[in-house]
């Protein structure tokens, strides 16, 4: 593995590796991705192997412009109502942290999307990601650059320590802006629904296209899941190695701090708390909290604590995505 800067020359080297079927970890505005040529079965297999990810969990395909859609999307399989929603959503949110489920063209290898009739497509706003895609001349399949089930990477060094030996290049892009993964939204379902809460909130989507449903099950044990049921709905996911439990503010205030415990508060607790305490946002700012989320969990996870007790976020805006990650991280 070689760590690259985000200069054009370095991105060109990484792009050449992608074109040759190699693997490159790169920054996006949400979290770092582990990318390979979406049309190369060899690269796709390499992604699953590097992450130790089950083949029935489909990947997100990253593009750097709308011109790439025609090679990926089977437009005639999209209803005119869904097409209207698509047009509004991409106008409002692309490039940005919204992944759309669209009927896929047969040229895309089944490995990319677990044999499902639809593919997840995302246009990241990160300029380095866009250049990597453009310079490689490919659509890039990229899950988050972490071993399956583990914390998502918000810094290049998280990728170095978690997947360093398994990739050709890692592009240094600093800390990611949003810090939580993209919202995965299925416009092919009727009614359309959020499959994974993320960087674009339900409110924002509903302001654009009207009411949507949330399909976010956390009750499916990992070993019984398959693609046909609901990809990406794993009960335990996004987990630190340190056991994590989830609490309301009231519960946390009543629980005495145990020996070598870590606490993760959404906002500043009213009374001082002894021991290892981290706060997602001192002022309760949702964006700041989201950006700090995985970053702080990585740090807490490195401290050798016996457990992490985390406070629920308010359930609005990005708070829904934070709580979704905390619920999965706390499931055992
Ligand atoms: O922000 C992000 O989305 C990051 C960055 C790197 O772009 N990527 C990411 O990928 O989080 P990953 O693989 O960790 O999560 C992709 C999610 C999974 O929950 C997967 O099941 C779901 O998207 N997904 C992918 N393709 C799908 C499909 N065809 N139908 C339903 N869900 C799909
Ligand atoms: Mg992931």
Same domain, 191 and 261: no
pLDDT reported for residue 158: 98
Q: Give the whole-angstrom CA distance, residue 281 versus residue 277.
A: 12
Percentage of residues of the chain with pLDDT beyond 90:
92
Among residues 200, 197, 211, the alpha carbon closest in space to that of 178 is found at: 200
Sign for the pseudo-dihedral over CA of 6, 9, 21, 100:
positive
pLDDT tens-digit map of 77-129: 999 999 999 999 999 999 999 999 999 999 999 999 999 999 999 999 999 99
The 3-class secondary structure across 24-84, one letter per residue, is EEECCCCCCEEEEECCCHHHHHHHHHHHCCCCCCCCEEEECCHHHHHHCECHHHCCHHHHH
Instruction: Kindly give the interhelix angle for 319-330 and 286-301, rounded to the nearest 10 degrees.
Output: 20
Sort 81 into a burial class: Cβ within 10 Å, 0-12 / 13-18 / 19+: exposed
> How many domains does the chain fold into?
2
Cβ of 118 closer than 6 Å to ligand 1, yes or no, is yes
Same domain, 35 and 162: yes
pLDDT reported for residue 222: 53
User: The domain that contains 256 carries what CATH number?
Assistant: 3.40.50.11030
Residue 146 CA, ligand 2 centroid: distance in Å: 7
Residue 73 CA, ligand 2 centroid: distance in Å: 23
Residues having C-beta closer than 5 Å to ion ligand 2: 144
Instruction: State the residue range of the domain holding 306.
Output: 244-330
> What is the residue with the minimal CA distance to atom 6 of ligand 1?
33
Ligand nearest to the CA of 186: 1
Same domain, 31 and 171: yes
In this predicted structure, the answer to whether residue 232 has a pLDDT above a threshold of 60 is no
Question: Could you tell me how many residues make up the chain?
Answer: 332
Ligand 1, residue 233: give the atom nearest the CA.
19
pLDDT reported for residue 218: 53
Q: What is the dihedral of CA 7, 27, 30, 105, to 10 degrees?
A: 110
CB contact set of 116 (below 8 Å; sequence gap of 6+): 58, 104, 227, 228, 231
DSSP state of 215: -
pLDDT reported for residue 211: 96
Same domain, 204 and 262: no
User: The domain that contains 134 carries what CATH number?
Assistant: 3.90.870.10
Ligand nearest to the CA of 120: 1
pLDDT grade for 227, boundaries at 50, 70 and 90: very low
Would 227 be classed as within a structural domain?
no
Would 187 be classed as within a structural domain?
yes
pLDDT grade for 40, boundaries at 50, 70 and 90: very high
Q: Give the whole-angstrom CA distance, residue 33 versus residue 142.
A: 5
The token duo for 254 is 């009543």
Tell me what percent of the chain is helix, strand and coil, each rounded to the nearest 5.
35, 20, 45
pLDDT reported for residue 237: 76
Comparison of pLDDT for 331 and 35, the residue scoring more:
35
Would 235 be classed as within a structural domain?
no
Q: Answer with the one of 198, 214, 230 that is the final residue of a domain.
A: 214
What average pLDDT does the structure give for the chain?
Answer: 94
Q: Are 306 and 258 in contact (CB under 8 A)?
A: yes
The answer to pTM > 0.85 is: yes
pLDDT reported for residue 247: 98
- Pick from 30-44, 217-231, 299-313: least confident: 217-231
Comparison of pLDDT for 274 and 226, the residue scoring more:
274
Give the pLDDT mean for 205-230.
70
Residue 141 CA, ligand 1 centroid: distance in Å: 10
Cβ of 122 closer than 6 Å to ligand 1, yes or no, is yes
Same domain, 208 and 252: no
In this predicted structure, the answer to whether residue 231 has a pLDDT above a threshold of 60 is no
pLDDT tens-digit map of 297-311: 999 999 999 999 999
Would 238 be classed as within a structural domain?
no
Ligand 1, residue 231: give the atom nearest the CA.
21
Ligand 1, residue 53: give the atom nearest the CA.
13
């Amino acid at each position: 593995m070689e760590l690259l800067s985000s200069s054009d020359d370095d991105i060109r080297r990484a792009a050449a590796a992608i074109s040759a079927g190699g693997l490159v970890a790169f920054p996006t505005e949400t979290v770092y991705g582990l990318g390979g040529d979406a049309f190369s079965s060899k690269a796709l297999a390499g992604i699953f192997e590097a992450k130790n990810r089950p083949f029935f969990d489909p990947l997100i395909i990253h593009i750097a412009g709308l011109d790439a859609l025609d090679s990926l999307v089977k437009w005639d399989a999209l209803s005119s109502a869904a097409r209207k929603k698509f047009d509004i959503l991409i106008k409002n949110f692309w490039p940005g942290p919204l992944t759309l489920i669209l009927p896929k063209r047969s040229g895309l290898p089944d490995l990319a999307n677990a044999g499902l009739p639809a593919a997840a497509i995302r246009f990241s706003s990160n300029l380095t990601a866009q250049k990597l895609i453009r310079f490689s001349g490919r659509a890039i399949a990229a899950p988050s650059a972490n071993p399956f089930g583990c914390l998502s990477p918000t810094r290049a060094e998280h990728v170095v320590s978690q997947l360093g030996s398994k990739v050709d290049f890692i592009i240094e892009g600093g800390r990611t802006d949003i810090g939580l993964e993209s919202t995965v939204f299925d416009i092919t379902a009727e009614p359309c629904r959020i499959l994974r809460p993320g960087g674009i909130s339900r409110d924002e989507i509903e302001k654009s296209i009207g009411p949507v449903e949330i399909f976010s099950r956390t009750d499916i044990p990992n070993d019984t899941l398959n693609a046909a049921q609901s990809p990406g709905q794993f009960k335990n996911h996004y987990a630190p190695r340190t056991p994590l439990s989830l609490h309301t503010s009231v519960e946390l205030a009543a629980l005495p701090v145990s020996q070598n415990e870590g606490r993760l508060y959404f906002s500043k607790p009213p009374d001082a708390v002894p021991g290892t305490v981290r706060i997602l946002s001192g002022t309760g700012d949702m964006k700041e909290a989201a950006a700090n989320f995985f970053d702080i969990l990585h740090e807490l996870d490195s401290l050798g604590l016996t457990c992490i007790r985390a406070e629920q976020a308010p359930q609005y805006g990005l708070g829904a995505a934070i709580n979704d990650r905390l619920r999965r991280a706390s499931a055992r």
